[in-house]
Each structure stands twice: as structure tokens, then as C-alpha cells.
Amino acid sequence: MKQFHAGYYQDQGSYKSFQPNLINRKWHIDNMKIITLLSQADRQLGRLDMYSEYVPNINLFIRMYVVKEATQSSKIEGTQTKMEEALLSEENVPVESKDDWEEVQNYIKALEWSINELTMLPLSSRLIRGTHKILMEGVRGEHKHPGGFRKSQNWIGGASINDAAFVPPVHTSVNTLMGDMDLFINNENIHIPELLKIALFHYQFETIHPFLDGNGRVGRLLIPLYLINRGILKKPILYLSDYFENNRAQYYDKLILVRKNNDLDQWFDFFLNGLIDTAKKGILTFDKILQLQKHTEDKIYSLGSRADKALKLVNYLYTSPYTDAMKVGKITESSMPSTYKLISDLEKIGILHEITGAKRNRLFVFEDYLQLFLN
């Protein structure tokens, strides 16, 4: 990538905007460190993808990955919702946390919608705009043209555009730049490794900043979409927002260094290490899920005639680990006396834990399972 030139600054009077160069062109990789990291990342993603095939009922667990991604990606943008809160039903969310909770729920909806749309649409501006529309619907930023590219100048950091940390390209060039991105991401004649292609795509998207709000969340969401779209992963089980959040200062610095020094290699290095680290953690989490699943089933079989209903409930809890008596009764199709008896049994064997301390409207959690995603 020695010949890479990120773009140039344009004088706009009281400030300078950054105009990125087009990326739909031939690329040549000559950094052996990057090539070595590519090999490691491919290997770890291959190991992670294996779980898509041999973990029974893997779709039960995917929602937890999605919720964690939504929480962490939104956290980077300043929302305070924790994963535990994001998993609660709306009626159980404190009033003061409702706005942040709704933003996280929108992220979940946007991700699920976009994954489904990939079966019908290519990864393109059309899909990106649709994703953005769902992300911003009914929340803070809903008046900033959801689903449409910006028609005015935006900026990042600073109290005003004059002291901004970064000013993206002028709005009149956004459609051209995003059109170039569409060509690049779907161009089969550009022979660049897939993982570097999405790394470059993410960098360019964040540089263009095509929306007035929500760019960071959409940009991070594009990573798992691309991995699924290209068949690198069969299921949406890898997200980089946790890695970016844990290395937030580095994340922004690396993006800046590409624009400032035309140093794309250091961004590739950071991105690939993120894929490797995240894939390894995903593998470890799935191993722990399988161990917990086996241990939990062994406990449940001790319940005798109530074991079938307990298993049905636990399968629900794998998708959402919080529940209450009404929900348990509905899921297991049980009378309320039978429901309370089942809950009591599951508390005794350590599967459910009561967390409200109340006599009425009590809330229970599958704590051992939830902790796998909090650590």
C-alpha cells in the first residue's frame, strides 16, 4: 500500500474539509506483516464459523451477540445502556434510561433487518440507507434525515465546525463517493483480500460520514454484514464494536493516521488484530455455552415430569435471559400454580435467580448464561 494516498484537504474559508480519493481501483499488498496477520485472521474466523454448523440450535444464542453488539456500538456514541438493561422488556426499563434503551433496540432492529435484506439486495448504498432509516426512527437524531445522505456539512468533535477534530467531505460529493464505494465493495475484478476490503470499506465510510447522525453505528454494522455477504461467516456471530470500545482512543487515532500520513498499513494491522482477538473470544464463549448447556440439561433432568417444560423455558432464556411469571406461564403453557412451582424448582437448582426482591412483579434471570456475555 506504499502508493496509497488518502485524499486532500479543501479550504472552505474558516475551516478545511477532507476530500477522500476514490477507492474502486486496483490494489497491491506488499507488507509481509499484514499478509501474516491476514493468514491468522482467516484461520480464526474459519474456526469461529465452524460453530455455525455444529452448535445445536445456534440461532438461540445469536440474539445475545446482537444485543451485545448493539449495546457496545451505541456506547461508543455516548449511550449509557448496559447489556443487562438492553435485554429488559420496555416496561422494566427505568424512565430515565428509556431514550438510550430505545436507541439500542433500534440498532438491534436495523441489524436484523439488514441481515435479512442481504438475501435480496447486494451490500450497497440502498441497503445502507434502509439500515440508517431504521436506526434513527423515533429516537434522538430522527430529524436528521433518516435514510438519506446528508445535504449539508457535518463535523466531528469540537464545539463548532471551526474547531472540529475532523471535517468530512462537502455534501455535494457524498453521492459520488458512496457510488464509488458501491462499485468497490461489489467489484469482483479487484483482487484484494476480503478482510482488507472490508477494513478499507469501513475506513472510507467513516471518512465520508454520509449521514448527519448515526455514521459510527452504521459503519460498524457494515462489518458483520460484509462477512456474511461474502460467505466468510454463515451466521452473524462476530462484531468488532466491543474491540473498538475497549480500544477507543486507538481506534480514532488509527483512522486519523490514514488521512494524515496516508498510512493504511497501520489501520489494517489494528483491524486484523481486532478480528483475531474477537474471533478468539467468540470461540471461547461458544465453548462455555456448550459446557453450560450440558450442565444445565443435567440439572433439568433431575426435575422429572417438569423437565420438558423446564427445557422449553431454558431454550427461550438462551435468546433472552430475563423472565417473569407471566412469561414463564405463557412459554410453558402452564397454569399459574404450576408456573410458580416450576420457577421455584429452577431457583433451587441454580438456573433462575430472582433480582427484584419484591413480592409481586418479580423478575428472574438466567445468571450463569448472562455472565458469559458480560465478561
Do residues 47 and 26 both lie within one domain? yes
DSSP state of 366: -
Cross-strand pairs, 11: 16
Residue 182: HSE in the Cβ half-sphere, 13 Å Cα cutoff: 14
Stated as kind and residue range, the H or E segment containing 253 is helix 248-261
Q: Give Cα separations from 67 to 20, 44, 88, 211 (angstroms).
A: 33, 23, 11, 23
Query: Residue 66: which of 271, 230, 199, 241 has the closest Cα?
Result: 241
Mean pLDDT of 162-191: 95
The pTM assigned to this predicted structure is 0.93
Do residues 346 and 257 both lie within one domain? no
Do residues 163 and 203 both lie within one domain? yes
Summary mean pLDDT of the chain: 93
CATH number at residue 364: 1.10.10.10
Do residues 221 and 150 both lie within one domain? yes
Do residues 189 and 316 both lie within one domain? no
Give the end of a domain, one of 258, 283, 308.
Answer: 283
Mean pLDDT of 322-334: 95
Rg (CA), the chain: 23
Do residues 107 and 81 both lie within one domain? yes
CATH number at residue 268: 1.10.3290.10
Tell me the C-alpha distance between 13 and 83, whole Å: 44
Do residues 275 and 296 both lie within one domain? no
Domain that holds residue 356: 286-374
Q: How confident is the model over 63-101, as pLDDT tens digits?
A: 999 999 999 998 888 888 889 999 998 888 888 888 889
Q: How confident is the model over 241-282, as pLDDT tens digits?
A: 999 999 999 999 999 999 999 999 999 999 999 999 999 999
Do residues 15 and 153 both lie within one domain? yes
| 1 located within any domain | no
Query: Residue 23: which of 38, 45, 1, 42 has the closest Cα?
Result: 1
Q: How confident is the model at residue 111 (pLDDT cuts 50, 70, 90)?
A: very high
Cell of 270: 489494528
For residue 55, the tally of other CB atoms under 10 A from its CB is: 18
Q: Give Cα separations from 101 to 71, 89, 108, 218 (angstroms).
A: 9, 10, 11, 17
Do residues 366 and 292 both lie within one domain? yes
Do residues 164 and 133 both lie within one domain? yes
Do residues 195 and 118 both lie within one domain? yes
DSSP 127-171: HHHHHHHHHHTTSTTTTS-TTS--SS---BSSSSGGG-SB----G
Give the end of a domain, one of 265, 283, 301.
Answer: 283
Q: Number of folded domains in the chain? A: 2
